Amino acid sequence: MEAPKTKVVVLFVSLLFILYPNVVVQRTLADGVTPDEAKQLRDEVREMFYHAFDGYMENAFPRDELRPLSCGGEDTLGGYALTLIDSLDTLALLGDRDRFTASVEWIGKNLRFDINKTVSVFETTIRVLGGLLSAHLLASDYATGMKIPTYDNQLLNLAEDLARRLLPVFDTPTGIPFGSVNLLYGVDERESKITSTAGGGTLTLEFGVLSRLTNDPIFEQVTKNAVRGLWARRSKLNLVGAHINVFTGEWTQKDAGIGTSIDSFYEYLLKAYLLFGDEEYLFIFQEAYAAAMQYLYNDPWYVEVNMDSGALVWPLFNSLQAFWPGLQVLAGDIGPAIRTHNAFFSVWKRYGFTPEGFNLASLSVQYGQKSYPLRPELMESTYWLYKATRDPRYLDAGRDMVTSLQYGARCSCGYCHISDVEFHKQEDHMESFFLAETVKYLWLLFDLAVGPDNLVENGPYKYIFSTEGHILPSTPQISLAREHCSYFGSYCKSGNIKQQHHKSDVASNLQETNDSRSFGSWAHGGLPSESTFSDSIPLSGFIKGFCPGLTHGQKFGVSYVMSADTQQNTPTNERAPTVSQRQSDTAPVENSDHLRPVNKKNHDNFQELDGGGSKSNSPQE
């Protein structure tokens, strides 16, 4: 696309969005995506990747991230070519051997972690450690088609070096790690003792893979211990809060939810089980998931509640929640995933992007949470739901996302953050996850529609996506294959089995494998005979492995601290900045009748925001 033309179109479309936020999108979605168009879209997404990747390499590398408007670079994490590391496995997925090889070789020669930098443990783990491990597993294995002949474990060695520099953070009384560490000097004595649940509980995949590749159990042990430390402090409702003191184990922020500060804690419980076959994670996931569905789910939305009382705190959609339907696909709970994705996508359609926060009571963008920093979560869920249902509406949704990104976010050297979804204002920043995840999931979506020809769908292994979108294979060395079904996902739910039947890719995946047969127990009776296997599997209510009636504690004899009582009186003395901003908002949340809509009465109001009838189209700010 020519640059000047693009600008005109951007202007025009932005104007239309401002004037008629609903009309534009509906027009572009007038017809469903045809197979030919899916192919074009896939290739357009590839071009999007290269626009941003080349923009980064030419203007920012080896700085961490690209400034896509001014065409410069900036160091945002450790100053070690973050975006390149985060892009490696996308290059491999796109089949770009040349760039993959050159990038891996450059990193092997030039990257060092003995630097005086204080970094976020969470971000460093999911972006850098995960990126290195994923690329290592691709580059070292002929079966992936990306084997680099000269490769000699350089990335694995770097990953191990980095992880050892992170290890000091786990040395706390609770086992829950500090949030930051200096790569050269360890944990600073003034380091904050408050960690988010996601920060402490989203390290298991990367560290676990490293342990299994290096045969040193320490990495797996400390991260599993951190999860246990968090889960031990869950409330009586089986909910976890958002922030915890890693020394005292007291929750300093007791809002339970599936979004900000907690999100990937849930994700890694299930995925650690799926990748490693370690059942303890499955048990914790089952309990945590059931509680989330009981206390946080207000069909089709999710709210935040006090972890002890279950009382509603924030009736907010936040854009990080959008990963949840994708996780539900892996868990086999498709029905709610479909409804929630619809609701979340209706927010996207309304603005052309999802704002960081959307108030479900006022049906408007949450004050102070207007931006869209190119986040991938909605694309991720769209991909998973398309994979599970093959419903073409997910391709339409994907096309809509491509359109928004192309017309609203594309800028001279890459893709720009949107600082205000109502006015589509661009900001001079591009997070590395745009290349690691956002375009990756879009590309996978359309490639799947075309008839997939890529590692993830047709490769030698099943892959688990890390929370940064890095693909981690279940090789025999990493997965304890005998311990779990080789179909990656289905949630053990013993109750309702009268769910709709989805014939899908997911079901046929089940058919492919032998392993599921060795777990011959289904909640709703015996194992279906082979002939009815694929068409009788209700994805919701399908049983993963065996489905014991024991709780995690009973099964493993671990009795967790029931610390809810002792914490009852602890004031919620520390809130994330975004939360205090929320307090300035109009809705007095705790006892406002007008919040009831989120629950039952008028929840239809929330189903579709794009119906033209929604009351609050006018910006509230």
Show binding-site residues for Ca(2+). 467
How many Cβ atoms are within 10 Å of 171's Cβ, its own excluded? 13
Q: How far is the CB of 58 from ligand NAG (least distance, A)?
A: 29
First to last CA, the chain: 35
- Type of residue found at 131: G
- CA–CA gap between residue 472 and residue 129 (Å, rounded): 12
Cβ burial, residue 74 (10 Å; 0-12/13-18/19+):
middle
The smaller minimum CB distance to ligand NAG, of residues 116 and 529, is found at 116
What is the torsional sign of CA 343, 543, 455, 213?
positive
Closest C-alpha among 398, 396, 394 to residue 505 = 394
Contact yes or no for 620/365 (Cβ under 8 A):
yes
Nearer to ligand NAG, 514 or 591 (CB): 514
- The answer to whether the CB of 180 falls within 8 A of the CB of 193 is no
Contact 187, 143 (CB under 8 A): no
Q: Does 584 bind ligand NAG (CB under 6 A)?
A: no
Shortest spacing between CB 451 and ligand NAG, in angstroms: 23
- Give, as ranges, the residues between 308 and 367 that touch ligand NAG (CB under 6 A): none
Contact 406, 396 (CB under 8 A): no
Of residues 116 and 531, the one with the C-beta less far from ligand NAG: 116
Phi, psi for residue 279 in degrees, rounded to 5: -65, -25
Give me the catalytic one of 377, 427, 431, 468: 377
| One character per residue 493-522, x = contact with ligand NAG (rule: CB under 6 A) | ---------------------x--------
Closest approach, Cβ 485 to ligand NAG, in A, equals 12
Cβ 460 to ligand NAG shortest distance, Å: 13
Contact track, ligand NAG, 58-97, x by CB under 6 A: ----------------------------------------
Q: Give the nearer residue to ligand NAG in terms of CB position, either 75 or 161.
A: 75
CA 135 to mean position of chain CA atoms: 19
Minimum CB distance to ligand NAG, residue 116 (Å): 4
In terms of CB distance, is 296 or 510 closer to ligand NAG?
Answer: 510
Binding to ligand NAG (CB under 6 A) within 436-495 occurs at none
190 sits near ligand NAG (criterion: CB under 6 A): no
Reduced 3-state DSSP string for 316-335? EEEHHHHHHHHHHHHHCCHH
Cβ proximity to ligand NAG: between 270 and 507 the closer is: 507
Contact between 316 and 357 (Cβ < 8 Å): yes
From the list 356, 428, 431, 437, the catalytic residue is 356
Binding residues: 467
Phi and psi, residue 544, nearest 5°: -85, 120
- Among residues 44, 64, 65, 123, the one annotated as catalytic is 123
Residue 116 or 532: the one with the smaller Cβ distance to ligand NAG is 116
Give the span between the Cα atoms of 517 and 528, in whole angstroms. Answer: 10
Say how many residues touch ligand NAG, by CB under 6 A: 2
Q: Which residues of 415-441 are buried (b: 16+ CB within 10 A; e: fewer)?
A: bbbbbbbbebebbbbbbbbbbbbbbbb
Residue 66 makes CB contacts below 8 A (sequence gap 6+) with 52, 55, 56, 59, 60, 72, 73, 83, 413, 414, 430
Catalytic residue among 206, 263, 447, 585: 263
65 is known as an active-site residue = no
Q: How far is the CB of 41 from ligand NAG (least distance, A)?
A: 34
Shortest spacing between CB 514 and ligand NAG, in angstroms: 3
189 is catalytic: no
Bridge partners of 372? 418
Nearer to ligand NAG, 31 or 530 (CB): 530
User: Minimum distance from CB of 515 to ligand NAG (Å)?
Assistant: 8
Contact criterion met (CB below 8 Å) for 78 and 64: yes
116 binds ligand NAG (CB under 6 A): yes
Catalytic positions, written as ranges: 123, 263, 356, 377
Residues that bind ligand NAG (CB under 6 A): 116, 514
